[in-house]
Structure 1
């Protein structure tokens, strides 16, 4: 994993920022830069509606920012963009690229997999996933098709697998401690930082609440 030990990059899952689909790249870069300064430890580029060329340019810029702050840089779904931008890893969903194939062909990449049940979590671990994104823990407007899993599923996944778990979906600063208490190694957020009036302060608050 780019010269890092498992413990090194597991620690970097604690405050995990997922970008949104706002069209202004400069705005995305500015928010991510502020968030990294506030304490974000992992950035995932998620752009479901963007062509490859513009997305690659944005990925390179975000990867440089993440590297400068010692944070992980992950690309959602797009293995090509992850490889071309020299990302640390790629995150795939249940209907995206098979984690087993990605991990077997590119063992140096950190591979994350979305899971909504214990069965999906166990299968992902067996397929070679390095970490799980479990949720939606709470109701969220960010992803319209998100399945509500709650804290109970996250806790059950924690008991069933050994790999790190990141809780995702509707997580706020106030909710972060209970997600960590349920067994998560970190919290992934979109609007809690991307839509915050002060992204740096929001990131700092999440960093503080996930360290309790």
Structure 2
């Protein structure tokens, strides 16, 4: 990625919340509503299905100039030429991923503590997903919520972009941005919405009006 990345409204997919709609259908509507970055997260499907879905998403997102980030799977990111990868603390180390990925690929790192965030910045991460900002039902194996004060502390310590995730929706997204995040990552607030385009548009309007 040679151009700056807009992380402001970052969608993380979850087929379990899709209500029998395809992820591609939801992503199309969400991007039409203002989503600026998409992370494809798949935990249960086969590798072949993951790649097929990622390739279809990338073909459409490329037309819109929206980056596709693959969760965890460096092999899938390589297979489809994704914009980058998002790694957790127990996934491949950032230095190893950097050796495998093409020059200019984005690498995002999940961090639940300032120590993890500082290490990710030091090791060359492009952005950090700080989590959970608030309690969330979509992930149960997380640390205690950071809250807005935790976001502020992270912002003072970290220079690279911060994306808040965890329990973020229309009622609190702007506050996360005001606390210093460069973007908000949402899952259920868009994926589970009856109208993902409308939900994304409302979130985008809220963070542009109050959070930036």
* TM-score, with length taken from structure 2: 0.92
CA distance in 1, matches of 2:81, 2:20: 19
Q: CA deviation at 1:104?
A: 3.8
- Structure 1 stretches of 5 or more lacking a match? none
Does 2:52 match 1:57? yes
Structure 2 partner of 1:87: 82
What secondary structure, in the 3-state scheme, does the structure 2 residue paired with 1:187 have?
A: strand
The answer (yes or no) to whether the contact 2:11–2:186 under 8 Å persists in 1 is yes
CA distance in 1, matches of 2:48, 2:99: 26
Does 2:176 match 1:179? yes
* TM-score, with length taken from structure 1: 0.92
Quick one: which of 15, 27, 41 aligns to 1:21? 15
> Alignment length, in residue pairs?
206
CA distance in 1, matches of 2:61, 2:38: 7
CA distance in 1, matches of 2:112, 2:24: 30
The answer (yes or no) to whether the contact 2:51–2:76 under 8 Å persists in 1 is yes
CA distance in 2, matches of 1:64, 1:55: 14
Q: CA deviation at 1:149?
A: 2.0
CA distance in 1, matches of 2:88, 2:35: 22
Q: CA deviation at 1:86?
A: 1.0
Q: CA RMSD in A?
A: 1.5
Quick one: which of 142, 146, 170 aligns to 1:146? 142
Does 2:200 match 1:203? yes
Q: CA deviation at 1:145?
A: 0.9
Q: Which moved more, 1:168-177 or 1:145-154?
A: 145-154
Structure 2 partner of 1:98: 93
Where in structure 2 are the equivalents of 1:72-83 lying within 5 Å? 72-83=67-78
Structure 2 partner of 1:127: 123
